[in-house]
Chains A and B, each alone.
Chain A
Amino acid sequence: MLEIAIKGSKKYWIWLGALLTVMAVAFALYVDQFMNGLMITGMSRDVSWGFYIANFTFLVGVAAGGVMVVIPYYLHDYEKFHRITILGEFLAVASLIMCLMFIVADLGQPIRMLNVLLYPTPNSMLFWDMCVLNGYLFLNIVIGWKVLEAERNQVKPPAWTKPLIYLSIPFAIGIHTVTAYLYCGLPGRGFWLTAILAPRFLASAFAAGPSFLILLCYLVRKFTKFDPGWEAIQTLSKIVCYALIANVFFFLCEVFVVFYSKIPGHMAHIKYLFFGLHGHGALVPWMWTSMTLMFIGIALLVVPAFRNNETLLPFTCIMIFIGTWIDKSLGMISGGFVPNPLHHVTEYIPTVQEIVISLGVLATGLLILTVLFKLAATVKEEVRG
């Protein structure tokens, strides 16, 4: 099936070339980081995770969001999602590969990363995160590939894919739950120490993932002869709507608990993010932008006239995607570290080098996504004749 990927239009090759260029530049900068250490980042003793882990966290959500097409199609036989299920699975594959790359980029000693396997440590949440992320990646590659291959050959997918598909559902929930557990089980980090964190992560994932999928459906429709179907997109937009409302609701629950209980160690972080603390407020405009985008997003999805407007919907999805990205990556990580456990404020601002390396990871993910989506779209075109 891979041969499909090496036949493409001029536009296809220009796009891949552009991605490869970004990857090459980023790789050169990564080599510098590899040689000289994470000193090239804006991270510090106080803010010891930054842009890499922030994007990792967000993309785990995008990957988990794929389950929002898998559940309706496989558990509820929702036929409208027949055509886009594979897109959801391939989006999960690309996102997970980016996640793993971000983790490696963040390690101080990447050549020792196999120590996690050589000395398995079940009491560390990072160990479990590695298990579920790799498991979910493996499941999606196998399922996506086998189902697409069967479709190409116009036969039923092998029976053994069914249990794997069912297994992928708890895994999808699992990857984001365990990722939340990385943060919310740590004593002394008031911002993360909340049971709502995993549900909030899932809600934001089910908003960000499907809204990105809607955008991808538009692109697929524009650049290939394959049409994912307007009805499927409409259903996705409803899913985004509910998930986004849940995300904002969970956040407001958190705000209530923190500010009604008035526990200083918990208030300080949210104050820092939205109002600034001790004169430091680098994230204040970002956080308000995020909130505004999410509220506008809800308004545009709740009102049927806006939601069903084919021209408006992609813009709504872009707003939601950016809004949730700021909320979950920039705010979630910096917010947890500032102020530090001794109530000092050290702000985090990523360096250009750090951002370019991150763009390199994103370019790699987009490259994989492009190839996988091209496979899917081409097979679907072939089958439909």
Chain B
Amino acid sequence: MNNKRENFLNKSSRRGFLKVAGISAVAIGAAPAIKAVSIASGGGEAALPVKTAKTEALTAKRWGMVIDTNKITEEVVESVVAACRNSHNIPDFGIQPDEEKYPNTRPAKKMQEIKWIWEEHYHNAFPEMEDEFLADKFKSLPFLVTCNHCKNAPCVQACPTKATFKREDGIVIMDFHRCIGCRFCMAACPYGSRSFNFRDARPFIEKINPEFPVRSKGVVEKCNLCAERLERGLQPACVEASEGAIVVGDLEDPESEVRAILKENYAIRRKQELGTEPSVYYIM
């Protein structure tokens, strides 16, 4: 199993250990026994060996994102979406597949596309706050929407296999190898932040990034807050491309940059009334 991948899927990599152990034990029935042993021997989250040096990793008690709507322009949107697409092998159904490499590729349907972060109008991002006398500036402003990494994530609650789970640092993330593709999480998400791989994405990926897995058909996916980049001490791709419009940081740390920004500015969250506690804030 790929160490790097396991690490970003689950920081403690306990699940990764169990999975490897379970497979090597051949009999599935042996897995609970191994789990019991690992717990009995004090194998909690911390006791297991950590595979990579964590010194350089960016960590937080609860990751959050602040988007400054004043700094979002069409150009910023474009480069943010492209950066996310390129770093996560997100297919672009607009491109023509390479006939030689992928012969007889059936045409893709736009409505089955995959989006992790994308542009919306104010009245779509905040439909319950529609207002006929809304300030003109907001009517035309592009809004970036993505997974809110909710504190009370309905998708985590709905998932029947724990393929979608919440890490201790607040990132809601997916194990693409466990997902059965039931799409219950898509029905549960009140923000439309999840996409399903209706087909093999490869023909529609211009250049595959070997640092990140290409998902197989039949699984759901969504923004992972670039957990794989935070792990290596890098800022999320969208933050890097945003020219300062997007900032991520620790919401629980009063000294963090995101908290400083939230202290100074009026910020709103999407569908706050649902009690999902989104971790993405919009400065108005």
Contact = CB atoms under 8 A, between A and B. Distances in A.
Interface of A: 36-39, 41, 43-46, 48-49, 103, 106-110, 112-113, 115-116, 118-119, 121, 123-127, 130, 182-183, 186-189, 264-265, 336-337, 340-344, 346
Interface of B: 28, 106, 108-109, 111-115, 120, 123-125, 127-128, 130, 145, 154, 157-163, 178-184, 186-192, 195-200, 216-220, 271, 274-276
Contacts, number: 157
Given A116-B180, A186-B188, A130 B115 contact: no
Given A45-B195, A107-B182, A115-B178, A344 B160 contact: no
Q: Is the interface of B mostly helix, strand, loop or mixed?
A: loop
A107 B163 CA distance: 14
Give the top 5 A-B pairs by smallest Cβ distance, nearest first.
Answer: A108-B181, A188-B190, A108-B218, A44-B111, A37-B217
Contacts of A125: 158, 184
Contacts of B200: 36-37
A106 B183 CA distance: 9
Contacts of A112: 161, 178-181
A342 B124 contact: yes
A343 B158 contact: no
Contact of A127 (B160, B178, B195): B160
Given A108-B196, A108-B220, 12 more contacts: A36-B106, A37-B218, A39-B109, A112-B161, A115-B160, A121-B159, A121-B161, A126-B160, A186-B187, A188-B190, A188-B274, A342-B145
B178 A45 contact: no
A126 B158 contact: yes
Contacts of B157: 123-124
A108 B218 CA distance: 4
A48 B127 contact: no
B136 to A, nearest CB: 20
Contacts of B186: 45, 48
B180 A108 contact: yes
A116 B198 contact: no
Most buried by B among A41, A46, A116, A119: A119
Given A45-B112, A186-B187, A342-B125, A113 B180 contact: yes
Contacts of B271: 187-188, 341
12 contacts: A36-B199, A37-B199, A39-B112, A45-B112, A106-B183, A107-B180, A107-B218, A119-B178, A126-B182, A186-B154, A264-B127, A342-B124
Contacts of A341: 127, 189-192, 271
A343 B112 contact: no
Most buried by A among B182, B184, B220: B182
Contacts of A109: 179-181, 216, 218-219
A264 B195 contact: no
B265 to A, nearest CB: 24
Contacts of B159: 121, 124
Nearest to A127: B160
